[in-house]
């Protein structure tokens, strides 16, 4: 284990390398460029391939080719670039090719801002491209967790044969923290489906076209069964002071990190506040949230968007009243803002 000081974007790069990723294809965009700059330097040192593609479309399709040929591949981008990658992501999902896609979110829609946001939650958790598919979406809260989740992402990608999204934001991407980097851990998965020249075996095809409707439906049902397996096995969340919470803040990523500070401050004032943080945004930890929310009087979702995760929270807690606090101009929510909001809720309801 090495302890080093790393920027979030660089930490993702280093973790990917140590997780056995040897192929990176990407196109520059703020606030994720350090990730590709880091890999441009590091990948050749370990015999890997770094290639700056002509566009996000090309980058994600290079990942498609590399993954189909058996390589452990990754790409990264931010909002506008992720939108361009969606064509390829839909194809990757249908062809069941494993890879990791990092979205260091900035403010949108359109060009928006290069400041951090959480505006791509819905795009990420609902598949994002055309057709019926879902992808595992992991959301870190610290640079250390970024590193750990990168390892998990590659494993999950190969175990389930699916693209995995690491959804983070400009604050975590740009921030520096000391991290413990595990030695290289590369789990090897059997890949009896790759196309590498059909030596001593029948040919293989990697395809997404199903002209026969019955065949397409079977393929879709097969994908849906996989999503169900994923939903049952890969749900993750973190609770903070859930034991006696009277008010529950529900937040992910950077908002959860700020939310923790708010919880600490409010606890010092003697207010019983807790935090529920989904680590997997898809599958969403609905059952655990339901359990955590049972003894709680007030619920408030905090996000850097107009309430995208709020919809999942509502689905998990039908009939419950759920407050929302959000900022959406690339402005990072402050602990003080959350504290004021919680005190307003508690005060306003006689808490």
Partner 1 sequence: MIKPLLVRPKILTPVRFHYCPGCGHGVAHRLVAEVIDELGLREKTVGVASVGCSILIYNYLDLDIQEAAHGRAPAVATGIKRVLPDRFVFTYQGDGDLASIGLAEIVHAAGRGENFTVIFINNANYGMTGGQMAPTTLPGQKTTTSPKGRDVGQAGYPLKMAEILAVLDGPSYITRVAIHNPGAVIKAKKSIRKAFQCQKLGLGFSMVEILAACPTNWGMEPLTALQWLEKEMIKYYPLGVFKDTEMMAPSAAL
Dig out the tokens for 82 from the structure.
Answer: 């992720």
Q: Which is nearer to partner 1, 64 or 154 (CB)?
A: 64
Q: Total binding residues for partner 1 by CB under 8 A?
A: 39
3-state secondary structure (DSSP) of residue 275: strand
Q: Give least dist CB 99 to partner 1, A.
A: 10
Q: Give least dist CB 204 to partner 1, A.
A: 5
Distance CA 325, CA 307 (A): 8
Distance CA 200, CA 35 (A): 40
Q: Give least dist CB 194 to partner 1, A.
A: 8
294 close to 274: Cβ distance less than 8 angstroms: no
Q: b or e along 124-136 (b: 16 or more beta carbons within 10 Å of the residue's beta carbon)? A: bbbbbbeeebbbb
* Preceding amide of 109 cis, omega within 30: yes
**Binding residue for partner 1 (CB under 8 A) from 17, 29, 53, 262?**
53
Q: Give least dist CB 196 to partner 1, A.
A: 6
Span interacting with partner 1, options 1-9, 52-60, 140-148, 162-170, rule CB under 8 A:
52-60
Site mask for partner 1 (CB under 8 A), range 32-51, x = bound: -----------------x-x
Dig out the tokens for 351 from the structure.
Answer: 């808490």
The DSSP-derived string for 155-190 is HHHHHHTSEEEEEEEHHHHH-EEEEEEPPP------
Site mask for partner 1 (CB under 8 A), range 193-222, x = bound: --xxxxxx--xxxxxxx-------------
Q: Give least dist CB 239 to partner 1, A.
A: 41
For helices 253-268 and 335-348, the axis angle rounded to 10 degrees is 60
Q: Give least dist CB 191 to partner 1, A.
A: 12
Q: Which is nearer to partner 1, 52 or 159 (CB)?
A: 52
Touching partner 1, residues 58-117 (CB under 8 A): 58-59, 61-71, 73, 87-88, 91, 95
Q: Which is nearer to partner 1, 23 or 284 (CB)?
A: 23
Q: Give least dist CB 81 to partner 1, A.
A: 15
Q: Which is nearer to partner 1, 206 or 332 (CB)?
A: 206
128 close to 82: Cβ distance less than 8 angstroms: yes
Touching partner 1, residues 130-159 (CB under 8 A): none
Instruction: Give the pairing type, strands 23-26 and 73-77.
Output: parallel
Distance CA 72, CA 22 (A): 6
Catalog residues that contact partner 1 under the rule CB under 8 A: 23, 25, 49, 51, 53-55, 57-59, 61-71, 73, 87-88, 91, 95, 195-200, 203-209
């Amino acid at each position: 284990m090495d302890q080093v000081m790393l920027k979030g974007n660089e930490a993702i790069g280093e973790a990917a390398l140590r997780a056995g990723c040897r192929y990176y294809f990407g196109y520059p965009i703020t606030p994720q460029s350090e990730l590709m700059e880091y890999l441009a330097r590091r990948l050749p040192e370990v015999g890997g391939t770094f290639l700056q593609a002509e566009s996000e479309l090309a980058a994600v399709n290079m990942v498609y080719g590399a993954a189909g040929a058996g390589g452990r591949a990754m790409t990264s981008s931010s909002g506008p670039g992720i939108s361009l990658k969606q064509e390829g992501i839909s194809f990757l999902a249908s062809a069941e090719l494993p890879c990791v896609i990092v979205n260091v979110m900035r403010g949108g829609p359109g060009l928006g801002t290069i400041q951090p946001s959480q505006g791509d939650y819905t795009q990420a958790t609902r598949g994002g491209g055309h057709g019926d598919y879902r992808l595992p979406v992991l959301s870190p809260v610290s640079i250390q967790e970024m590193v750990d989740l990168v390892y998990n992402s590659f494993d999950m990608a190969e175990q389930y044969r699916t693209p995995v999204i690491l959804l983070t934001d400009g604050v975590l991407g740009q921030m520096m923290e000391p991290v413990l980097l595990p030695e290289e851990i590369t789990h090897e998965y059997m890949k009896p489906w790759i196309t590498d020249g059909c030596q001593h075996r029948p040919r293989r095809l990697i395809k997404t076209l199903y002209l026969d409707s019955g065949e397409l439906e079977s393929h879709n049902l097969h994908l849906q069964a996989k999503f169900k397996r994923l939903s049952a096995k890969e749900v993750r969340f973190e609770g903070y002071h859930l034991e006696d919470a009277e008010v529950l803040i529900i937040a992910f990523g950077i908002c959860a990190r700020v939310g923790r500070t708010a919880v600490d401050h409010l606890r010092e004032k003697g207010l019983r506040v807790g935090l529920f943080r989904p680590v997997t945004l898809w599958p969403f930890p609905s059952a655990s949230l339901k359990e955590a929310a049972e003894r709680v009087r007030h619920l408030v979702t905090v996000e850097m968007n107009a309430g995208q995760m709020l919809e999942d929270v509502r689905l998990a807690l039908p009939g419950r009243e759920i407050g929302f606090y959000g900022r959406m101009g690339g402005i990072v929510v402050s602990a003080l803002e959350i504290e004021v909001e919680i005190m307003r809720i508690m005060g306003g309801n006689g808490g």
